Structure 1
Amino acid sequence: MTELGQPAKLSSERIRRVSPDFTARYLPELAQLEQLIHTHAQQLKVRTLAVIEHQTVSQTSSQRYKLPIYSLRLGSDNPDLPTLAFVGGVHGVERIGTRLLLTFISSLLQRLQWDRGLNHELQHLRLIFCPLLNPAGMALGQRSNANGVDLMRNSPDNATDKVTWMVGGQRLSNRLPWYRGEEHSPMEAEARALCDWVHDELFGSPLSIVLDCHSGFGLRDRIWFPMAGSREPLQHRADIAALIHLFETTNPHHNYIIEPQHHSYLTHGDLWDYLYHQSLSLEDKVFLPLTLEMGSWSWVKKNPRQLISFMGLFNPLVPHREKRTMRRHLLLLEFLIRSSCAYEAWLPATPMSRLRYEMEAKQRWYG
């Protein structure tokens, strides 16, 4: 029986394309993604951001496979238009984020055949996806990548305020969770691919928004924005406040807790903090990274048997709850498409409007 193991540092095995048997057993999400790419090749613009080598090990043999990280794009090619990006699978055990995005992509592709409104929106928007950033970690069923590094602790940024012990990132060992990687070493291939992708696809747009889909924290769904490593107010707090005001006035019955990540806990090495700091050097550009943190404790509360499964701590294991999760968050994803297209109607453009939303942000998050 073949088992998954850590990638060997030196190997002479023949490296091959990942097989259907492998994806069916360990990575059905990658199989579904590649099927979407194959079926809708004329509608999607596809890039391979990186290829991760991964090894399977058995008593008699070992094989090394190439696991691709894909980027999919719909909509306009014009870099002067707003860009909306969705990311999933940063933590390999959190499969529900990737599944949510695959469901959403599939829905959009079907609607493009008849939905005139969606076709019109995509003429004024660049819509891009990276649904599965950490394929080796997902194949292994672990939070980290195959090297044991937590990709959301892997940037060189250090928190300026005291972080939560261990959870905030540690350099003791890759056998322990939340491992950041060795100090002064290059970022992991997956983290570098994400950063390069953001630079290439988002930083040239007048407004770019990212939603990174995670699970595993709390009883309530949360929408986080930077900072994760500091309690200082976000420089673009007025823009975030305006976007959240728009969301809450048009969706008054939503059930999200919306807050800076540091309200929940602080961490070292957050990739979105790192990229946000880099975006501040851009002139007349607004980059707003958001994280959707699906509250997996509610799934455990409703079905305590999930406690005996590591996957059950991060994903709904009962089919009807997974379907309900898909339905619940589609409203947010659709809102982000429409608000990105119409960003000039709500983004604060005058000193008075900026002051209004800065005061709102201060009262709500930074009082």
Structure 2
Amino acid sequence: MAELKSITPHISVAAEQAGRDSGQRRQLRTFIPEMVQLERLLADAPESVQSRVLTRIPVKGMSVPIYRTDIGSRASDAPVVLLVGGVHGLERIGAQVVIAWLDSLIARLRWDDHLNALLEKVRIVALPIMNPGGMFLNQRANPAGVDLMRNAPILAQGDSTFLLGGQRLSPRLPWYTGEPEQGMEPENLALKSVIDELLPNSRFSLALDCHSGFGWQDQIWFPYAYRRRPMRRIDSVMALKLLWEQAYPNHNYVFEPQSAHYLTHGDLWDYFYKQVNKAGKGTFIPLTLEMGSWRWLRKRPRQLFRLDGFFNPLAPHRHQRVLRTHLLLMDFLVQAAVSHENWLPAGDQARMLREAAIMHWYREA
């Protein structure tokens, strides 16, 4: 796999793959401006920022890349923070939030000695646009019609919500899981390759997958989505929640298991959490940021007449506010990963936090 810097001094990889056709390049600029922004950001980044193309997704006669960006330690057992955006093509704000944070981080690399010292202890890996084909087509699913968040080989243990929990009726309907015999979609296989490479050997790892979701508040979801029972290391999630609330008591996030809302088939992070726990030596905490889009609709009701208005803040000042709101959370996750030995529970503390988590999140279940 070629690195981005070695092939983009004058022209982007996406344009090269599109046959150097200026018309196709204009299409990319029109339909995936986030891709153009990301390419420019990475092309101008310091040499310590390594980027590569994981795979390419065919769409409308083009071939659009999924970029992977690595920053920080290359030690095999270093803590890992994995940032993912754009899993659903309609939810552009997820990709934009990850790119905004990368932009801030890369700018600080040029002058912030404290940050550079911190990055010697942690590895940051970002896949800002996981579903470039869906983003190009302005649809939730990938070009094959598969909802990437319903595509993992894991089934709900209980009644899932009709359609919303995943369906195999037709790719023309939303939340299509794909056919099991066809395996996971190429976008998910690209993400799996990163997780298989890095997480099993890491002492500690965190993932933050950025989405927009219906609700009045920003929510941070964690596994499981396939069953209403606690995940294996629920004590570590409770410890992270308490750490965040002690450091930033005036925050506006709600921490909850996804199963508190509905059960789904094929949840990606359920699957990866179980796989890493089977093979891994450390602790893995996957989180999903669901940005509450109902607030944007309430303040700007005319967004209801636009498909992207259901999932993204369209008013410029509100869009800028969302982009800066989550920078602190991402910085905190990096700091928490570096210092995980200082707060990750063990022994009696782990048992106490597990009981507290069950009382807090699973009492009714």
Cα deviation, 1:159-217, whole Å, max 9, x if unaligned, reads 11211111000001111100011232221111111112111122220111000000032
CA spacing shift, 1:115–1:41, aligned 2, 3 Å? closer
> Normalising to structure 2: TM-score of the pair?
0.92
Structure 1 residue 283 displacement after superposition = 4.7
Alpha-carbon distance in structure 2 between the residues aligned to 1:332 and 1:262 = 23
**2:204 matches 1:207:** yes
Output the amino acid matched with 2:33. Answer: P
SS at match of 2:65: strand
The Cα shift of 1:17 comes to 5.8
Look up the match of 1:280: 277
1:151 equivalenced with 2:148 (yes/no): yes
Alpha-carbon contact 2:202-2:281 (below 8 Å) kept: no
Contact 1:17 1:66 in 2 (8 A): no
Alignment of 1:327 onto 2:305: no
1:263, 1:216 → 2: CA distance?
14
Aligned residue runs from structure 1 range 188-207, under 5 A = 188-207=185-204
Deviations 1:305-333 (A, max 9, x none): 00000100000000100111112111111
Does the CA contact (< 8 Å) of 1:90 and 1:133 recur in 2?
yes
* Structure 2 contact 81–124 (Cα < 8 Å) conserved: yes
Larger displacement relative to structure 2 (357-366 or 275-284): 275-284
- The residue aligned with 1:30 is 35
Q: Distance in 1 between matches of 2:213 and 2:349?
A: 36
Partner of 2:344: 347
Whether the 8 Å contact between 1:16 and 1:66 is mirrored in structure 2 is: no
Task: Please say if 1:271 is aligned against 2:300.
Answer: no
> Quick one: which amino acid aligns to residue 149 of structure 2?
M
Measure the CA separation in 2 of the matches of 1:94 and 1:303.
17
Structure 1 residues 318 and 77: CA distance shift in structure 2, 3 A:
same
Q: Whole-Å Cα distance in 1 between the matches of residues 280 and 131 of structure 2?
A: 32
Partner of residue 362, structure 1? 358
Say if 2:154 and 2:267, in contact at 8 Å, map to a contact too: yes
Residue aligned with 1:169, SS: coil
Counterpart contact for 2:201–2:281, Cα < 8 Å: no
Q: Which amino acid aligns with 1:31?
A: V
Within 5 Å, give how 1:80-159 maps onto structure 2.
Answer: 80-159=77-156
Q: 1:212-251 to 2 correspondence within 5 Å? A: 212-251=209-248
> Which amino acid is the alignment partner of residue 51 of structure 2?
V
How many residue pairs are counted as aligned between the two chains? 345
Distance 2:315 2:280 in 1: 48
Query: Separation in 2 of the partners of 1:147 and 1:65?
Result: 14
Cα deviation code 1:99-124 (max 9, x no counterpart): 11111101101111111221111010
CA distance in 2 between counterparts of 1:20 and 1:48 reads 18
Letter in 2 for 1:152: M
Q: Is the 8 A contact 1:89 1:214 kept in 2?
A: yes
Partner of 1:307: 304
Corresponding residue of 2:58: 53
- Decide whether the 8 Å contact of 1:90 with 1:132 is kept in 2: yes
| Alpha carbons of structure 1 residues 137 and 17: separation in structure 2 relative to 1, 3 Å | farther
Measure how far apart 1:41 and its partner are: 5.3
Match of 2:314 among 317, 340, 348: 317
- Alpha-carbon shift at residue 234 of structure 1 (Å): 0.8
Tell whether the 8 Å contact from 1:17 to 1:65 is kept in structure 2 after alignment.
Answer: no
Is the contact made by 1:171 and 1:183 (CA closer than 8 Å) also made in structure 2?
no
Among 16, 21, 27, the alignment partner of 2:19 is 16
Q: Is the Cα–Cα contact under 8 Å of residues 17 and 67 in structure 1 kept in the other structure?
A: no
Q: Aligned partner of 2:354: which letter?
A: E
How far apart in 1 are the matches of 2:269 and 2:19? 33
Give the C-alpha shift of residue 156 in structure 1: 1.4
Structure 1 pair 39–307 and aligned structure 2 pair: CA distance change class (3 A): same
Q: Distance in 1 between matches of 2:329 and 2:352?
A: 24
- Whether the aligned pair in 2 keeps the contact of 1:84 and 1:208 (CA below 8 Å) is yes
How far apart in 2 are the matches of 1:284 and 1:241? 20
Secondary structure of the structure 2 residue equivalent to 1:280: helix
**Aligned to 1:16, what secondary structure does the other structure show?**
coil
Distance 2:229 2:251 in 1: 27
Contact 1:91 1:138 in 2 (8 A): yes
| Structure 1: 5+ residue stretches without partners | 1-13, 56-63
Please tell me the residue identity of whatever aligns with 1:223: I
Moved more, 100-109 or 43-52: 43-52
- The alpha carbon displacement at 1:47 in A equals 2.2
Contact 2:171 2:178 in 1 (8 A): yes
In structure 2, what is the Cα distance between the partners aligned to 1:216 and 1:237? Answer: 23
Q: Deviations over 1:261-291 (max 9, x none)?
A: 0111110000100111111212531111000
Identity %: 45
Match of 2:73 in 1: 76
The structure where helix makes up a greater share of residues is 2
Q: Distance in 1 between matches of 2:280 and 2:194?
A: 19
